[in-house]
Amino acid sequence: MRSSVQITRGVESLFGTRDENIRVLETKLGIKTSLVESSLEIEGDDAAVSRAERILEDYADMVKEGVVFTNGDLNSYLRVVTEDPDVSLRALVQSGKTRNFGKKVLAPKTINQRRYLEAIERNDLVFGIGPAGTGKTYLAVAMAVSALLSKRVSRIILTRPAVEAGEKLGFLPGTLREKVDPYLRPLYDALYDMLEADKVEKLIEKLTIEVAPIAFMRGRTLNDSFIIFDEAQNSTPEQMKMVLTRQGFSSKMVVNGDPTQVDLGMGRRSGLMDAAEILNGVEGISFVHFNERDVVRHSLVQRIVKAYERANDASARQLGLNLSEPLPEAAMAHTGAFRQTN
């Protein structure tokens, strides 16, 4: 089947850098396209051509209405709509309402990012579980900043385990903050992206924003706070329980982690996996699971994540595991060893 769609404006953003956006359409739908004057001609199977036609018509109509697509955003949207036939480009763009986060104005770029933000709005405890690059930390910090600026909370608590990612850094010099800051740098990066640098420093000095390793959470009750527990896969079950039970009145907590990047020692169970099993189905707790389709970094990152997932699945199959069930401790240790030695 052959068809064509009029594209009078927005051709540059449609094609993207080195035509990467149009290549997403061609690769995912199995079609061929060619630009003829102001029309994009599509060739392929009937169903694929019809699907591409609907996507491109949505794109053309929204551009006429004044919607501006950046290259990265459009690429992410196209990856979602080409893999999920029940989602239209217009619905995806419009459902992700734009939010103001300090000096940033953001909209979710994937279905799961939208679910994640909505879950944080609705629930007091949310788990974001999935691979690197899916926006778990960044969006959680954005929601925390928004809550602080709108005075829904009086402070932000950012914490993560001070676990070395396979490297021995030895004893770091300087003050206590200077010793732990390298472990917490991703949280600072997100903060500086949302707020002016001098404002971040003032808020940290006043302890309105507190960035600390999880060891500093013991014995505290955190009222009227937005708490983010990042890199939670590197906590032990005991540490996870300790942090979860710090939550006080009028507080929200977001717990993020990637089960494929556990840097605990061999045989040690991840507190994130433990909590996912124990708390599944508990009222008031929401779990949002991300996958490689939600990766919003360089397109190569999606392929890297998928390749590692295939490798870990193959390793688990060698042990005769049922991959639809939570991995037992022995399997977690095995897959962790596989990841570290390859």
pLDDT tier at 72, thresholds 50, 70, 90: confident
At residue 310, φ and ψ (nearest 5 deg) are -65, -40
Mean pLDDT throughout 91-119? Answer: 77
Show the CA angle centred on residue 217, arms to residues 212 and 220, nearest 5°.
135
d(CA 55, CA 89): 6
Whole-number pLDDT of residue 172: 54
At residue 157, φ and ψ (nearest 5 deg) are -115, 120
Q: Are 220 and 214 in contact (CB under 8 A)?
A: no
Mean pLDDT throughout 113-138? Answer: 91
Whole-number pLDDT of residue 297: 66
User: Containing H/E element for 302?
Assistant: helix 299-318
pLDDT at residue 103 greater than cutoff 80: no
For the residues of 240-295, what is the DSSP string, one character each? HHHHHTTB-TT-EEEEEE-TT---SPTTPPPHHHHHHHHSTT-TTEEEEE--GGG-
Mean pLDDT throughout 192-216? Answer: 89
Mean pLDDT throughout 201-211? Answer: 92
pLDDT tier at 249, thresholds 50, 70, 90: very high
Whole-number pLDDT of residue 139: 92
Q: Which of 285, 340, 8, 293 is nearest to 119 (CA)?
A: 285
Whole-number pLDDT of residue 310: 81
End-to-end CA distance of the chain: 45
pLDDT at residue 335 greater than cutoff 50: no
CA-to-CA dists, residue 28 to 1, 93, 130, 291, angstroms:
17, 19, 22, 17
Q: What are the tens digits of pLDDT across the range 135-185?
A: 899 999 999 999 999 999 999 999 988 765 444 445 556 665 566 666 677
Q: Are 151 and 219 in contact (CB under 8 A)?
A: no
For 234, counting Cβ atoms within 10 Å of its Cβ (0-12 exposed, 13-18 middle, 19+ buried), the class is buried
Q: What is the DSSP letter of 234?
A: G
pLDDT at residue 330 greater than cutoff 70: no
| Beta-bridge partners for 287 | 127
pLDDT at residue 337 greater than cutoff 50: no
Q: What is the DSSP letter of 175?
A: S
pLDDT at residue 323 greater than cutoff 70: no
For residues 185 and 47, the model is more confident at: 47
pLDDT at residue 327 greater than cutoff 50: no
Q: What is the DSSP letter of 195?
A: S
- Among 37-51, 136-150, 178-192, 293-307, the range with the most confident prediction by mean pLDDT is 136-150
CA-to-CA dists, residue 136 to 52, 280, 282, 286, 290, angstroms:
30, 19, 21, 14, 9
d(CA 254, CA 270): 17
pLDDT at residue 1 greater than cutoff 90: no
The region of weakest confidence among 18-27, 34-43, 99-108, 262-271 is 99-108
Q: What are the tens digits of pLDDT across the range 9-35?
A: 777 788 888 888 889 889 989 989 888
d(CA 119, CA 126): 7
Would you tell me how many other CB atoms lie within 10 Å of the CB of residue 79? 23
Residue 27 is encoded by which pair of tokens? 């690769």
For residues 205 and 9, the model is more confident at: 205
pLDDT at residue 299 greater than cutoff 70: no
d(CA 171, CA 222): 30
Average pLDDT for the chain = 81
Q: Is the pTM of this model over 0.85?
A: no
Mean pLDDT throughout 233-248? Answer: 93
